[in-house]
Chains A and B, each alone.
Chain A
Amino acid sequence: MTKNIFYFIGGLFIVVLVQEFGLSHLTLFKVSPDIVTIFIAFISISIGQKTGTSFGFAAGILSGILSGNIGLNMLARTLEGFIAGYFNIPEDSHATAKQKIKRLYGAVATSGFCANAVLETGYNPLGLPLTYRIVALGLLGTLFTLLLAVIITRLFLRQSLAD
């Protein structure tokens, strides 16, 4: 487990960099998919809520430093990890792969939307109305992230989320 944690910490750095220098440039209707949300949700459901929250906090620091808005990112990512923790699959669970994947999608969608709502509330660089930002952009961002989660699950996480 300790070994895994180190892998996850390394993975966190890579994921934040991929998000910041890659995916954040793939904007469609002003929003882009968020791989950090998927990573935090994965940590939360596979390890636990506390670890997920801590990883969220760390991810918030990293992405905050890179984006220039540290506090807000920390808050949003911490919330993300905490909410995703409710979808945690205990180690002794007999959940099937399908159930685990469903949980991951649920965690991504719920925590992603909450984090988007926090970020959209706290930062408005385009000067858009708050309701539009939260409802339209928040939901659209969550949808894109969910689509990315589907792709990543099918390509990389099948084995991790096996029965």
Chain B
Amino acid sequence: MQKFFSLFIKYNSYLLFIVYCSIAVLFMKFKDDEVLAKLRTGGIEFNAFISDKMMSYSYVVNLKKENDLLIRINADLLAKVLNFENATLDERNRQKILADTTLNASKFKIARVVSRKFSDRDNILLINAGWKNGIKKDMTVLTPEGLVGRVSVVSEHFAKVIPVINTDFKVVVVSDKSKSMGVLSWNGSKEFIAHIEHIPISSSLKLNEQILTSDFSTFSMRGIPVGKVISIKPDNLFYTVEVKLAVDFSSLTQVLIAPLKIEPEKVEMIGNDTPN
């Protein structure tokens, strides 16, 4: 017995090691036990909690860097959102144009306004359709709301449009009820107001009458809405008529281009360089 105890004392390191290893092996064997599983879960939860706190701390420390990164990401996202919004708007306008039953859209070409200049030097619209898309000079540009203008210069992929609100633009118009006829032009004042000349005092033109393009026009097809009469002032022989234009030029994005009205003889007979 004494020998056993002396042996035990002599080799107690080994015995301790064996005991610990046995416990470890038991833990390995019963690793799926409920108590051990709970212990493990608790440990992992603690680990996750501390890691989360450390991440929060590192987040605070790296806040400036994070902020810069977020600003950059924000800028990227903003650019993407703007692109998507523009695409959606363009598509909506296109659908609106196609859905409009008053216009036979199949004959029209659709284009997007890519640039607009409204200054003392230039007052034009640029559309993304050129002679490659079948666009020709003097084609009528319109939207379902009304007349936009006339194609003046055509390149391969783009075309320049003289809008109604250009002093060089003139078009023969007619009112829808009284059938009073005159020449519509814009004198450079308000962006949404145009004037009709040559309507005689004898005409029965009334306020709020719709003004449409006339068949007398050398370039435009008839019946395109132009605007609504908002003021009639009598002069010596003619009325001075103010028309509120149907098209909002400030928010123009998508336009239609009507097929060319081929009447060169008519232009020749009138003898006017500028079609109206």
Contact = CB atoms under 8 A, between A and B. Distances in A.
A14 interface: no
A61 B65 CA distance: 39
A85 B25 CA distance: 21
A136 interface: no
Contact of B28 (A49, A66, A72): A72
A149 B61 CA distance: 29
24 contacts: A21-B47, A49-B13, A50-B13, A53-B16, A54-B20, A56-B20, A57-B23, A57-B24, A64-B27, A64-B43, A65-B39, A65-B46, A68-B43, A70-B27, A70-B31, A71-B26, A71-B28, A71-B29, A74-B23, A74-B27, A75-B25, A78-B21, A79-B17, A122-B28
B157 to A, nearest CB: 56
Q: Give the interface size class of chain B.
A: 20 to 34
Given A60-B24, A78-B17, A71 B47 contact: no
Interface in A36-69: 49-50, 53-54, 56-57, 60, 64-68
Interface string A16-29: 01001100000000
Contacts of B23: 57, 74
Contacts of B16: 50, 53-54
A82 interface: yes
B67 to A, nearest CB: 24
B63 interface: no
A127 to B, nearest CB: 20
Nearest to B28: A71
A49 B14 CA distance: 10
A82 B17 contact: yes
B36 A70 contact: yes
B134 interface: no
Contacts, number: 69
B27 to A, nearest CB: 3
A49 B21 CA distance: 15
Interface on chain B toward A: helix, strand, loop, or mixed SS? Answer: helix
B26 A53 contact: no
Interface on chain A toward B: helix, strand, loop, or mixed SS? Answer: helix
Interface residues of A, number: 25
Given A20-B47, A54-B20, 6 more contacts: A65-B42, A66-B46, A70-B39, A75-B21, A75-B25, A75-B28
B87 interface: no
Counting from the closest, the 9 A-B pairs by CB-CB distance are A71-B28, A71-B27, A65-B43, A74-B24, A75-B24, A78-B20, A57-B20, A82-B17, A49-B13
Interface string B26-38: 1111010000100
A107 to B, nearest CB: 15
Given A50-B16, A71-B27, A75-B28, A21 B39 contact: no
Interface string B165-203: 000000000000000000000000000000000000000
Given A50-B13, A65-B40, A78-B17, A71 B51 contact: no
Nearest to A57: B20
B13 A82 contact: yes
Contacts of B43: 64-68
